[in-house]
Amino acid sequence: MKVPIGVSARHVHLTKEHFEILFGKDEKLGVLRNLTQPGEFASDKTVTIKGDKGSIDNVRIVGPFRTYTQVEISKTDSYKLGVNPPIRKSGDLEGSSPITIVGPKGEIKLNKGCILATRHIHMTPEDAKRLNLEGETKVKVLIDGIKGGILHNVILRVEENYKYELHLDLDDANAFLVNQGDVGTIIKYEKNI
């Protein structure tokens, strides 16, 4: 039950409307490089994100446009910004933190949208079957190595077009000394626990 690991740096997802406020109506969201999940790409554009205490420049916009705007940061980033985001699945933004996004042509003050992303594994229904994880919602993942350990509460995101990969934020990756492309081992939660 090996799983390849992808490390997610801080990034922003935008609606088309918000992109146009930040960059103007004539600007295009171009592809810098494709990401592992089909259709997802690191774009050629960055923004600044701002909280009560500070700001962080050069935060990459991940495309394509979504139906919601979301800022995914690490706990370490949250101290610098002076925000206190909850741990959430992508798109689950009710009660998430306020944040301001600044682009070259404008800025957006969001009253929600900043999260720490839940640890998650992308997989297809076929992967779930192959790994004997059908019906499971979360697993643990063992990381080997000198700073290895067990990651708890890793949720499963099962969709037909997903590519099998564990996504960790930079704080998790640094704490366990893992890099993009390293491999973890899935451990099932026992029933009844």
What minimum distance in Å lies between the beta carbon of 167 and Zn ion? 4
Name the minimum Å distance from CB 109 to Zn ion.
27
State the binding string over 146-185 for Zn ion (x if CB under 5 A, else -): ---------------------x------------------
Give DSSP secondary structure letters for the chain.
-EEEEEEE-SEEE--HHHHHHHH-TT----EEEE-SSTT-EEEEEEEEEE-SS-EEEEEEEEES--SS-EEE--HHHHHHHT--PPEE-TT--TTPEEEEEE-SS-EEEEEEEEEEEPPEEEE-HHHHHHTT-TT--EEEEEE-STT-EEEEEEEEEE-TT---EEEEEHHHHHHTT--TT-EEEEEEPPTT-
Q: Which is nearer to Zn ion, 42 or 102 (CB)?
A: 42
Q: How far is the CB of 47 from Zn ion (least distance, A)?
A: 20
Q: Return the number of the residue (65 or 164) whose C-beta is nearest Zn ion.
A: 164
Nearer to Zn ion, 54 or 91 (CB): 91
**Smallest distance, Å, CB 24 to Zn ion?**
29
Give contact residues for Zn ion (rule: CB under 5 A).
167
